[in-house]
Structure formats: C-alpha cells, structure tokens
Chain A
Amino acid sequence: MKQSAFTLIENEALTARFSLLRLKGDCSAIECPGQFVSLSLPGFFLRRPFSVCDWDEQSFSLIVEEAGKGTALLRRLQPGTELDVLTGLGKGFDLVKSGDAPLLIGGGSGVSPLLGLAKGLLAQGASPRVILGFPSREDLILLDEFFRLGLAPTVTTDDGSFGIRGRVTDAMDLPHSFFYACGPAPMLRAVCEASPVSGEVSLDARMGCGFGACMGCTIQTVNGPRRVCKDGPVFGKEELRWAD
C-alpha cells in the first residue's frame, strides 16, 4: 500500500453511467490485476474504492459508475485535478491458477479489472476467452480495448440489442481451465454455479478504510469472517458462502 498524490489526466464519459479516468503518479505499489485504489475526494470524508482497470509504471485507469454524490463528482472532475490516492490495496487475481484456457467473465463495471487481467494472462502465454455482459447496447464499455489485445469478447445484453440476448451464463458453454469473474453479486453467484471448474471472483463492497482496519466490509466465508478490502476483493469460488 502506498499513499501518494496523483493527477487526473483523462476523464472520458463512455456511456450515460460510466466514465474512464486515467490518473498519473507513482504506480509502484500496484502488484497484480484485481487490486484496487482508494481515492480521497474533496468534500467527502470516506475514500472511494475502485478496481484498477489497467496500469503501467506512471499511470492507471479505472472505470467509474455513477452511483451517488461521490462518483457523480468524480465524473465531473477536470483533468489536472490532484487527488490523494492509496494504491496497491487488496489481494488481486492469482494468475498462476489460470491454466491454458481461462475464461474471463465481466458484468457492467465489473469488466474493468478483467482488462488488466487479460493483459497479464496473455503475457504469460495463456489464451483467455472473454464474456462481457451489459443491460443494453448503450452500456457497452471497454470492448475496443479487448479487441486491441487480439481478444474477441462474446457480448451478452439483457435486451438483445447487441450480441447474445441473455445473461453471461447463457454464453458460458465454452470449455475452460479456470474462470475469473467480476460483476454484480447475483451474476457472480450464477457464474460460480454454472462453471464446472474452479475460479476466482472479485467482490464489490461498501468499505470504510479499504485496508483492513475497520471491519466495515466483512463477509462470512467457509473459512470464517473475511474482509473484502484486505483478504479480498478476490476470493476463490470454494471460499464463498452466498447469502440468501
């Protein structure tokens, strides 16, 4: 974990709800895809946590979905704005487990960390396949970025306006060695149940600190209470106990 100042260098509205932000600064604490950063916003007490979408030594990108006042402010911030950021938070995806043909499944803003993950998997010689799910054609994000990596994601939309009509699980009949998923909790549960093999999912949570101190984001797992921010956000399929 590192606390440092970052400068917003890009803030692009991708859809009505999603923006892509790029921040410039010291990214040395970011170790693997699936980790997150936590931004301090002017006028708000609590930080806001976001999965890292993609990163290099000098900058990282993230997808912001407008969910309340904090994210609305963030989408309006002008490039040049300086923000206090905690980087390198949480336990990310374990790329060693991927096997030769991992399946990446993202829903909504949950596609964000899968971009960095896809890059990492390609770099280690794996052949990832990607399924991305959105409510509708207008909600599609990051599709071009996956194509630029040479990957052709299968897209599902709830209303059938793009790709396959239905949910990500309707496209999951591809053989795969392991899966990685990020998206809304009901989707993650359905993915875990639909896949015959092991996998990892990245959970979202309302957090206090983001680094394991406040116990604000605890979930019950088969191994006992775990903090989403510190023990996760990535958890193994076998660890999770889905609450009803």
Chain B
Amino acid sequence: MGRLSVSLCGIELTNPIIPASGTFGYGHEFSQFYDLDLLGSFSMKGTTLHPRFGNPTPRIAEAPAGMLNAVGLQNPGVDAVIAEELPRLKKVFHKPVMANVSGFSVEEYTQVCARFDAEPQVGWLEVNISCPNVHGGGMSFGTDPKAAAEVTRAVKAVTAKPVIVKLSPNVTDIVSIAKACEDAGADGLSLINTLLSLRIDLKTRRPILANTTGGLSGPAIFPLALRMVWQVSQAVKIPVIGLGGISSAEDAAEMMLAGATAVQVGAANLRDPFACPKIIEALPAVLDRMGAETIREIIGGAHG
C-alpha cells in the first residue's frame, strides 16, 4: 500500500480524497479539467428511481465561509445513469465509484440499490438518508433511528456491495442514528450532509432560495462536522467517511485524526474545480510535518 492509500470497506483507495455527492455530477465535467484517476474515488450525484427536475431556482445562496443549496436531487433517474453516465464514466475513470442513492420510500431505495448492485463499476452504495431539500423523503429517514435502520436493513438485503449510510447533522443525537445503522448492517457511514439553513434578501424581504430553506456547506460547517465525526467514530466499529467543509490537505488530516478513514470534499469543488488534486498533492507534505509515515497511522489519532 502506498503512503496515502487507505482501505474503505475492503476496497483499497490510492488516497482518501473523494469528491462528495452533488458537487461532482457524474464526473463528466471534471474529467475535462483533470485525470479523475488521481482521486481515491468519487461519489456520484444523488440518484433516484425516477428522473427529477429538482426545486425551482434560485437554488444557491452565499453564506459566510460557505453556501446554501436547495437543488432538490435533480438527476436523470437510475436507468439513465446506468445507460448513459456509467458507460461515459468508464472511459475516463478506472476505479470503483460510489453510487449515491436517494429515495422517498424504503422500496425506492431498494430498487435503486438493486439496479446499482448489478453494475461492476460501482464499488460502494452510499445511501443518502439526509437530503434536507426534498419533502417526504431524504432527511426524514435520517432523523429517526428506527427509520434509518429500516432503510439500511432493506438495502443490505438487495446488495452484496458495501453499504455506506450518509447521515444528517440535523438531529439531536447523531450517535444514536449511527449506531442504529451499524446494528442494521451498514458497512460504513459518511457524515455530515448539509445543515438546514436560511438566507433572506433585504430588498425583497423574502427568502433568497425558492425552496425557502437550503443546506449549508463549506468551511463554515467544518468544526461541527469534525465534532460529529469524532463522536460517531468512537461509538461505532465500522469505518466513517468524514465530510463537511474540507478545503485543504490540513483539513483532511484533521478530519482523519478525528477518526475518519477517508474524507469527502464537497463545496470546495464548486469554488475551485481543482480543489481535490491540489489537496492530494499537498497531503505528503502535511504528513511530513506531522512526522507520519503513512496516512493510515493518523486515522483516529486524536482519540489518544
């Protein structure tokens, strides 16, 4: 294993940097900017059973050290992703990709997961029970331990691939949800999704986003994400992917010290399309300064 490589649910990543779902499309745009094989992997745009237009615009608002989005799971549906996006991706990305799955019922989650289970390009299923921007689905599964466990169990029954459950920070006790997912058979967890937020336009005196609320991401949420990863990684035995506001190699190392086996980079990709290759390039020097031989040895290092 190389200096930066880590193992995530039995699959080796050459480095722990994974662009987060919703900030990287299906890889096509970024494949025109750099070689996607530089990445550990990436998590595809959240995919549902049927095509979705998403929310009305405006879907984006600025925030101090971050941004709000209320895209609302725009995606072409799982059949189009398998028929069009995966074949196109195969030409430019030669590693296992993470399929991010969303749904409005347990059955929808299992149907989408079953479809992706048959795709050799897909390494992991990332089950998103934490989207704050859709109604009657998404986050409502991620704010209740019983519902989170039910989705996890149902998905596990239809796939042999590792199931990573993506958790919402919009809860009182994220540890209880994390444990419920672990007990229901989750192979890993990713946290955190965005924080339910609001901006108001002084001129119109109305919310900026057409959806009223949106999910906050970016450096503003990094310390909060770090705290949650710290708590959850101590409470569970399965690997945790840390995300939320990571925008530098130092942030990535800090997140891994808190207990993350790998990290996802989200909003930073939107601000700087070359954010991920820059982070990967800077990681060895960060390890040098930390006196660490490999990145694996810093995982959970802050827990003493």
Contacts and interface: CB of A to CB of B under 8 A. Distances in A.
Interface string A29-49: 000000000001000111100
B54 A215 contact: yes
Interface stretch (B63-71, B87-95, B173-181): B63-71
Contact of A218 (B54, B67, B271, B272): B54
Interface of B: 22-25, 29-30, 32-33, 45, 53-54, 57-67, 69, 71, 74, 218-219, 267, 269-274
A146 interface: no
Interface residues of B, dominant DSSP: loop
5 contacts: A45-B219, A206-B57, A209-B273, A214-B71, A216-B71
B269 to A, nearest CB: 7
Q: Could you say which interface size class chain A belongs to?
A: 20 to 34
Interface string A206-220: 111101111111111
B25 A208 contact: no
Contact of B60 (A1, A40, A207, A220): A207
Contacts of A118: none
Given A70-B62, A216-B59, A218-B74, 5 more contacts: A45-B219, A84-B272, A205-B57, A206-B60, A220-B53
A15 interface: no
Nearest to B202: A68
A37 to B, nearest CB: 14
B67 A46 contact: yes
A209 B270 contact: yes
A207 B190 CA distance: 27
A3 B59 contact: no
B69 A208 contact: yes
Contacts of B58: 206
A1 B273 contact: yes
Contacts of A205: 57
Contact of A217 (B45, B57, B62): B57
A230 B30 CA distance: 12
Contact of A46 (B24, B29, B62): B62
